[in-house]
Amino acid sequence: MNTSENVVRVDALSFSFNVSYMRDLSQWHEFRKVSGYNGVLPEFPKAPSQIDFRTGLTLDAADYQRRLDDYLHDHCNAVYQRVFLFFDRILGLSVGPVRSRGMQGYSHSCRLFSADGKTECGWLMFGGANQKDTAHVQLSGVGCRHLFMHTTPYLLWNTLRGLGVTRLSRIDLCFDDFTGNFDTSYALTAYKDRAFLSGKGGRVQELDVRRPLTGDTLRGDTVYVGKRKSRIYWRVYDKALEQKIEGVSWYRSEVELKKVTVDVLSDVDAFFAGLCDYSASVLSKHIERVRQLPSDERRVQENILPCLELLGRVQRVRRQFARIAGDVLDIFDGDTGAAFGLLACPDAVKKYSLDDYESTLKRGGVIFSHSMKHQRLYGVN
């Protein structure tokens, strides 16, 4: 099973697990030699006794507290190191340095990154007297994309069950439509038909429609069903409008679920379809339409989402750096290689041998025939 088989994607994920499961890490297949693992798992320290084994006498309070503090420190280090290995080897994520600043009642926190350490993916929290030896994980939409490059929802379901996880604190499921069939108008009609109700006799949820304008320009188009604090909270919105991508139809139906069974990960599509009549109709009609498409058009459909996400990122970069890029192109007479050489990240500069342009600037060797304004600006006589 792979993520391409899932029509519905996981776009945010939060769960807690007991760190005591880190003691059994040597029993996991991924940490046995048969899997190719040749590392050594950090040992857990033994808790101090209040009795001095040499004398048989009770330790004084100050001495015992010092030993207890040392134990807690060593235990925290062992937990962190094992969690680091667990995230790296099983979830394909890297764990950043431990911060003494806690979050959500936990005493320590770490940032989670992609496997290469370049992209921030979420947070790991642990420690604290009131947290019952648990750790808490929060993954953003970007974090979920990196997670599911390494595993699948079904495999993650098995992994979390192995950690004793029975419920997820939160999971966001989203469905992307590129036909315009399941837009905000469709969502409003479904709401009037009570299609967002979950189960018979359910209460009618709150409806909130937001379509902000600046003059005659529509800046957003979102339908919210439910309340943010509700167990089920729907957002149906114009994703293309949000990303400022013109000329395409891209609507997203997203549901935020709180305190839901971990079994949602065993079959994400089925769980999404079973939430209400709205989600069932969206998914069934989409699958029926895709089945009727020729194979080449199906492949195009599969490629639309990553292409639009890339275009969205380009649009954000363009808004932030368009003027700078324009100046660079002017200086180098439209040489796009020079522009990329100066604006790309160091890894890309090295990979594509673009560092000559920066060296040229540093030597003052830029030759161009622009206005005296540019010449004065860049120190060329």
SS (H, E, C) 24-91: HHHHCHHHCHHHCCCCCCCCCCCCCCCECCCCCCECCHHHHHHHHHHHHHHHHHHHHHHHHHHHHHHH
* 351-312-146 Cα angle (round to 5): 60
Q: What is the C-alpha to C-alpha distance for residues 328 and 92, in angstroms, rounded to an integer?
A: 38
Give the model confidence (pLDDT) of 265-284 as tens digits: 999 999 999 999 999 999 99
Cβ distance 167 to 146 under 8 Å?
Answer: no
Q: Of 35-39, 196-200, 207-211, where does mean pLDDT reach its minimum?
A: 196-200
Bridge partner list, 169: none
More confident residue, 184 or 375: 184
Q: What's the pLDDT at 374?
A: 43
Cβ distance 108 to 127 under 8 Å?
Answer: yes
Which residue is listed with tokens 């920066």? 358
Average pLDDT for 160-177: 96
- Pick from 25, 19, 17, 72: which is nearest to 46 by CA? 72
Cβ distance 336 to 207 under 8 Å?
Answer: no
Q: Of 57-66, 242-251, 322-331, 355-364, where does mean pLDDT reach its minimum?
A: 355-364
Q: What's the pLDDT at 364?
A: 60
What does the radius of gyration of the chain's CA atoms come to, in whole angstroms? 27
pTM of structure:
0.78
Q: Of 71-75, 86-90, 222-226, where does mean pLDDT reach its minimum?
A: 71-75
